[in-house]
């Protein structure tokens, strides 16, 4: 006879109560451990990913720049509002031809280990940056220096580089061509001084925390891979910063960053899911800091191949672009619509909007249809194209909206997605018809326009080539006077927009959440927030 299992009443055993009781104890212990109070000189920041290096010559990412800005200081540096101010240089002079810059260093400069910092440390650093063995992927940031490209290619010795130190407090930079944006270039890690004594003593291991030497407000305390980078105040930095300790957490996952911010585990995060923007605007309005980054997202046509070798086809498609619809209706994530290729935030420059926007939308539609008909397309022979976009929710919605813009023209658009690496690898090889592309750049128009110069190389993704545009850009680059330079750049800009090699769409919005107790935080166009300007209210 089988025994019915129902007769054994497991439910009455006290075991269950013990389990519940111990679970409660575990939770209580965890809950109390999780809420240990932090002193208010410790700042916990979210960085959008894990740094790949803290060597200023090997870095490649914005999130590394964030850390390096706290660790080092160049000849110039960022002010709290993001503008350029003198760093370790106290003054400088430029020769009349704009080719020779003489910098005077501040007296009594010292490294975080107490060693003196001299102009020699700059000479050492600039030669190391260009040495082929360093394999610095951003060495070209300093190509304005005389012979820099040749030294980097191994065609000239490091001593030929246009940098010299006649005395410990004087640094002379000689340039290849006049470059009025030099002070801005000197803000970046590629222009920092490096501790020659530490690098010569430890080789590639100088970046380890135990060997670390830097000259900024902070020095490296500990780097636990994928967990945090901990910085502590540099005892030799004057004035001493209010925040004595900073933890940078690599928060690559936007949702986790958002959760950790809301759980009070971090004081500021670099971004959060765009879908939470409406909630954040409502419930976290004192924490939300939205701004727009110096950047341009655009569509690029492959002008080497049919059908986009025909300017009429490019113009017809550009006619239908509606940047405001993309940012305000489709994305709604804080991006700023742009009608010009040079972002509106670039200072001292009036951007040139695409000529199509002088027409109303119905006029643009009929002009677009006319252009396509002239180019030989009709209802029986429609234009069929493939639009490439980078994998992602927002980029996909954007691509769908663009396909919808083009539909009234009778254009049939196929969408093709690829992850970021593959997308840009294809673009660099010219393996596309029309694609989403982007450039996050510096505060000068030349930076963006040079993407369209015919000999720029593979980041001129579409292979755009126009002699008149090239000539105007070359003339601008020879000009030492900033106003005249910008006037020539604007002529080049006007020439380019009329040929529609690209269709500008928007500048990237920044959605940050910042603890309202954090003082000194300012929205800046380059989205830099040096920690030495910040403090925490108790």
What are the structure tokens assigned to 430, written together? 């010219």
Q: Residue 144 interacts with other proteins (CB under 8 A)? A: no
Give the start-end residues of each E strand in 51-141.
Answer: 76-78, 84-86, 89-94, 100-105
Residue 236, Cα to own-chain centre: how many angstroms? 30
Site for other proteins in 113-142 (CB under 8 A): 132-140
How near is the Cβ of 4 to other proteins at its closest, in Å? Answer: 9
In the complex with other proteins, the residue whose CB is nearer, 138 or 482, is 138
Ramachandran area for residue 527 (φ above 0: left; ψ -120 to 50: alpha; else beta): left
Residue 254 or residue 310: which is nearer to other proteins going by CB? 254
281 is a site residue for other proteins (CB under 8 A): no
Radius of gyration of the chain (CA): 28
Cβ at position 3, least distance to other proteins in Å: 5
Q: How far is CA 53 from CA 63, 105, 420, in A?
A: 10, 28, 21
Nearer to other proteins, 409 or 514 (CB): 514
Q: Is 17 in the site for other proteins (CB under 8 A)?
A: no
Nearest-angstrom CA–CA distance, 224 and 131: 30
Kindly identify the residues of this chain, within the stretch 187-246, that bind other proteins according to CB under 8 A: 207-208, 223-228
Which range binds other proteins by CB under 8 A, 28-36, 100-108, 405-413, 502-510?
28-36
- Report the nearest approach of other proteins to the CB of residue 505 (Å): 15
Give CA–CA dist 342/443, Å, rounded: 10
**Residue 386 in the binding site for other proteins (CB under 8 A):** no
* By the rule CB under 8 A, 65 interacts with other proteins: no
- The answer to whether residue 3 forms part of the interface with other proteins (CB under 8 A) is yes
Choose, by CB under 8 A, the member of 98, 189, 193, 250 that binds other proteins.
250
Among 47, 118, 152, 302, binds other proteins (CB under 8 A): 152
Residues 40-59 touching other proteins, rule: CB under 8 A, are 50, 52-55, 58
Applying the rule CB under 8 A, the residues between 414 and 473 that interact with other proteins are: 419-422, 424-426, 428, 438-440, 456-459
- Cβ-contact 393, 399 below 8 angstroms: no
**Smaller CB separation from other proteins, 2 or 37:** 2
| Cβ proximity to other proteins, 137 vs 468, nearer residue | 137
- Output 431 or 494, the one with its CB closest to other proteins: 431
Residue 21 makes contact with other proteins by CB under 8 A:
no
Token code pair at residue 224: 């636990």
Nearer to other proteins, 5 or 380 (CB): 5
CB of 527 to other proteins, least distance (A): 16
- Minimum distance, C-beta of residue 402 to other proteins, in the bound complex (Å): 20
Q: Is 287 in the site for other proteins (CB under 8 A)?
A: no
User: What minimum distance in Å lies between the beta carbon of 385 and other proteins?
Assistant: 21
DSSP 353: B
- Asked whether 74 and 524 are in contact (CB, 8 A), the reply is no
The nearer residue to other proteins, 58 or 532, going by C-beta atoms, is 58
CA distance 387 to 195: 48
| Residue 340 CB neighbour total at 10 angstroms | 21
CB-count burial class (<10 Å; 0-12, 13-18, 19+) for 1: exposed
Q: Is residue 33 helix, strand or coil?
A: helix
Burial class (CB in 10 A: 0-12, 13-18, 19+), 197: middle
Site for other proteins in 253-272 (CB under 8 A): 253, 255-256, 259-260, 262-265
Write the CB contacts of 301 (distance below 8 Å, at least 6 apart in sequence).
308, 314, 317, 433, 434, 462, 500, 501, 502, 503
- The β-bridge partners of 163 are 173
Q: How many residues bind other proteins (CB under 8 A)?
A: 76
Residue 85 makes contact with other proteins by CB under 8 A: no
């Amino acid at each position: 006879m089988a025994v019915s299992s129902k007769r054994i009443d497991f439910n009455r055993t006290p075991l269950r109560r013990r389990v519940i009781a111990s679970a409660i104890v575990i939770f209580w212990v965890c809950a109390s451990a999780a809420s240990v109070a932090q002193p208010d000189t410790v700042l916990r920041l979210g960085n959008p990913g894990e740094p790949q290096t803290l060597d200023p010559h090997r870095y490649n990412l914005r999130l590394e720049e964030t850390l390096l800005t706290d660790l080092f200081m160049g000849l110039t540096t960022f002010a709290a509002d993001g503008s350029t101010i003198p760093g370790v240089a106290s003054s400088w002079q430029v020769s009349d031809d704009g080719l020779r810059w003489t910098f005077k260093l501040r007296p009594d400069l010292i490294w975080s280990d107490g060693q003196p910092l001299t102009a020699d440390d700059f000479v050492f650093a600039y030669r190391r940056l260009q040495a082929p063995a360093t394999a610095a992927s951003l060495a070209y940031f300093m190509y304005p220096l005389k012979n820099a490209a040749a030294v980097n290619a191994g065609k000239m010795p490091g001593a030929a580089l246009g940098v010299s130190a006649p005395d410990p407090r004087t640094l002379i930079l000689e340039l290849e061509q006049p470059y009025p944006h030099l002070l801005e270039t000197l803000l970046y890690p590629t222009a920092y001084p490096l501790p020659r004594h530490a690098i010569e003593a430890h080789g590639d291991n100088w970046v380890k925390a135990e060997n670390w030497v830097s000259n900024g407000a902070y020095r490296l305390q500990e780097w636990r891979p994928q967990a945090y980078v901990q910085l502590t105040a540099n005892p030799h930095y004057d004035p001493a910063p209010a925040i004595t300790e900073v933890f940078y957490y690599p928060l690559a996952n936007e949702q986790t960053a958002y959760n950790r911010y809301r759980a009070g585990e971090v004081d500021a995060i670099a971004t959060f899911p765009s879908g939470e923007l409406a909630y954040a605007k409502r419930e976290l309005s004192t924490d939300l800091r939205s701004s727009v980054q110096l950047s341009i997202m655009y569509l690029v046509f492959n002008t080497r191949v049919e059908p986009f070798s025909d300017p009429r086809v490019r113009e017809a498609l550009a006619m239908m672009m509606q940047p405001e619809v993309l940012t305000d209706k489709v994305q709604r994530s804080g991006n700023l619509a742009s009608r010009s290729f040079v972002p509106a935030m670039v200072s001292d420059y009036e951007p040139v909007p695409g000529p199509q926007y002088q027409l109303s939308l119905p006029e643009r539609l009929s002009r677009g249809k006319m252009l396509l008909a002239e180019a030989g397309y009709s209802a029986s022979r429609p234009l069929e194209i493939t639009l490439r976009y980078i994998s992602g929710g927002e980029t996909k919605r954007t691509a769908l909206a663009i396909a919808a813009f083009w539909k009234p023209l009778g254009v049939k658009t196929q969408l093709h997605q690829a992850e970021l690496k593959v997308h840009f690898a294809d673009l660099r090889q010219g393996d596309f018809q029309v694609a989403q592309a982007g450039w996050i750049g510096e505060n000068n128009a030349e930076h963006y326009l040079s993407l369209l110069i015919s000999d720029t190389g593979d980041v001129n993704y579409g292979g755009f080539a126009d002699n008149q545009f090239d000539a105007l850009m070359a003339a601008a680059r020879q000009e030492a006077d900033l106003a005249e330079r910008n006037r020539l750049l604007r002529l080049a800009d006007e020439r380019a927009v009329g040929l529609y090699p690209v269709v500008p769409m928007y500048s990237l919005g920044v959605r940050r959440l910042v603890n309202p107790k954090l003082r000194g935080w300012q929205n800046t166009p380059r989205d830099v927030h040096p920690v030495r300007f910040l403090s925490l209210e108790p």
